[in-house]
Amino acid sequence: MNILITGGAGFLGSHLCDALIEKGHDILCVDNFFTGNKSNISHLLTNPNFTLIRHDVTFPLYVEVDQIYNLACPASPIHYQFDPVQTTKTSVHGAINMLGLAKRLKARILQASTSEVYGDPEIHPQTEEYWGRVNPIGIRSCYDEGKRCAETLFFDYWRQHKLEIKVMRIFNTYGPRMHPNDGRVVSNFIVQALNNKPITIYGDGSQTRSFCYVDDLITGMIKLMESHKSITGPINMGNPSEFTMIELAELVIKLTSSRSKLKFKPLPEDDPKQRQPNISLAKSKLNWSPKVSLEEGLNKTIIYFKNLLDK
Ligand code: NAD
Ligand code: UDP
Ligand code: UDP
């Protein structure tokens, strides 16, 4: 199949390119390199089944493909808050353009949505039925509301134009090729620990996240795309093992044999207090569940960052 991946030079997108090339597909990778990096896909540039286009999805795109994975959007708070108007445009105009493309081609389309659509949740763990608690005017809103509006568009194109859609709500995912300076907690802690610098804990560190290793997530994403057309989602994907940021910091210090100490900093505005996916739907509908433990995934990620810092 000919498959379009928007945001294909990013962290998740580049792993998806690898996995789909491995399965024998032809990949068209579209990226404007806002947060993505050519080095994430440089090993694919000479592959005859791989094509790269530098393009911003907020502008129309006329290509011929059989399937579309829409991942284009900065994902880390530092990056999506850098130019918030562009973030909303990427989510909303990007979704409209990719849905328009899918409609013309009658192509199946998957949206990389996010656990952020639940905001700072009142129910725990989060199930797909929960409508969320999102601040519409805060500093995270460009991302959260942009992604919520994209979900709306997907379901309206599905109802109105009978498009085959797949909406995946991705929970915190980590692994090799994360941007070393994008401020996400796993990359921050590992880079700080490897440099024996203070580990920055925001707030008192009691807030929780549930971390999924990238390979598990990509397996789930492809399973969802290839699932029966009656399965539209939204469907949660992530690893339900939940940790406080203090626990994460201590584990990273242990695994890197670091001399780093914890340093407490103010908690950013609207930072969700707890987050854990309920993945019953993914288990029952897709027979998917994550396999890689946090310790195992962190070890692989630490090796990646060690090599990067040694360069
Ligand atoms: P990333 O920042 O590494 O990748 C995003 C990619 O999109 C980058 O390559 C960037 O250059 C590209 N991009 C941004 N704006 C664009 C535009 N207007 N046109 C074309 N390309 C554009 O982030 P990631 O972690 O790989 O996230 C990929 C997707 O998954 C995002 O949509 C994100 O919202 C979603 N997601 C990720 C996580 C996670 O934990 N990693 C969690 C929830 C959702
Ligand atoms: N679009 C695109 N590529 C295509 C078809 C459409 O980028 O191959 C964009 C186009 O810019 C359009 C948007 O998708 O504005 C929505 O398309 P749709 O057909 O739903 O709406 P309309 O063209 O009526 O605005
Ligand atoms: N965090 C932290 N120290 C850091 C970076 C992040 O304590 O150096 C916290 C952050 O406040 C949040 C959690 O770690 O509570 C996850 O942050 P991240 O930006 O990775 O993801 P998100 O908040 O989008 O889930």
Tell how far the Cα of 80 is from the centroid of ligand 1, in angstroms: 9
- Cα separation, 276 vs 281, in Å, equals 14
Per-residue pLDDT reduced to its tens digit, 88-129 = 999 999 999 999 999 999 999 999 999 999 999 999 999 999
- Whose CA is closest to atom 19 on ligand 1? 56
Supply the pLDDT for residue 92.
98
Please name the residue whose Cα sits nearest to atom 6 of ligand 1: 7
| pLDDT at residue 162, as a whole number | 98
Mean pLDDT of the chain: 97
d(CA 224, CA 279) in angstroms, rounded, equals 13
Known catalytic residue at 143? yes
Q: Probe ligand 2: pick from 55, 104, 153, 161, max atoms within 8 Å of CB?
A: 104
pLDDT digits (tens, 9 = 90+) for 168-216: 999 999 999 999 888 999 999 999 999 999 999 999 999 999 999 999 9
What confidence category does residue 85 fall into, taking pLDDT thresholds of 50, 70 and 90?
very high
Establish how many alpha carbons lie within 13 A of residue 1's alpha carbon, considering only the half-sphere containing its beta carbon: 16
Q: Three-state DSSP class for 136?
A: coil
- At 5-59, the pLDDT tens digits run 999 999 999 999 999 999 999 999 999 999 999 999 999 999 999 999 999 999 9
Convert 229-257 to b/e letters by CB count within 10 Å (16 or more is b).
Answer: eebbbbbbbbbbebbbbbebbbbbbebbe
Q: Is 138 in the pocket of ligand 2 (CB under 6 A)?
A: no
pLDDT band at 270 (very low <50, low <70, confident <90, very high): confident
- Quick check: CB of 104 below 6 Å from ligand 2? yes
Instruction: Check if 6 has its Cβ closer than 6 Å to any atom of ligand 2.
Output: no
Among 101, 110, 103, 4, which Cα is nearest to 62's? 101
- Taking alpha carbons only, the member of 90, 89, 71 closest to residue 10 is 71
Cα separation, 222 vs 200, in Å, equals: 35
Whether the per-residue pLDDT at 311 is higher than 90: the answer is: no
Tokens of 258: 């670091």
Region 282-295: mean pLDDT is 98
Q: Of these residues, 118, 143, 157, 213, which one is catalytic?
A: 143
Least confident piece of the model among 77-91, 95-109, 263-277, 278-292: 263-277
pLDDT of residue 272: 87
Pick the ligand that lies closest to the CA of residue 55.
Answer: 1
57 lines ligand 2 (CB under 6 A): no
DSSP 133: B
Q: Which atom of ligand 1 is nearest to the CA of 12?
A: 26
Is the pTM here over 0.75, yes or no? yes
Ordered by where they begin, the domains of the chain are 2-173+213-238+276-290 (3.40.50.720)
Confidence at residue 269, expressed as pLDDT on a 0 to 100 scale: 87
User: By the 8 A CB rule, do 75 and 112 touch?
Assistant: no
Cα of 24 from ligand 1 centre, angstroms: 24
Rounded Cα gap, residues 219 and 231, in angstroms:
16
Which atom of ligand 1 sits closest to the CA of residue 90?
A: 18
Joined together, the tokens standing for residue 164 give 């085959």
Rounded to the nearest angstrom, the distance between the alpha carbon of 110 and the centre of ligand 3 is 26
For residue 103, how far is its CA from the centre of ligand 2 (angstroms)?
Answer: 8
Bridge partners of 166, per DSSP, are: 110
- DSSP states of 242-289: EEEHHHHHHHHHHHHT----EEEEPPPTT--S---B--HHHHHHH---
What's the CA angle centered on 110, arms 105 and 115, to 5 degrees?
Answer: 155
Conformational region of residue 308, where left means phi above 0, alpha means psi within -120 to 50, and beta covers everything else: alpha
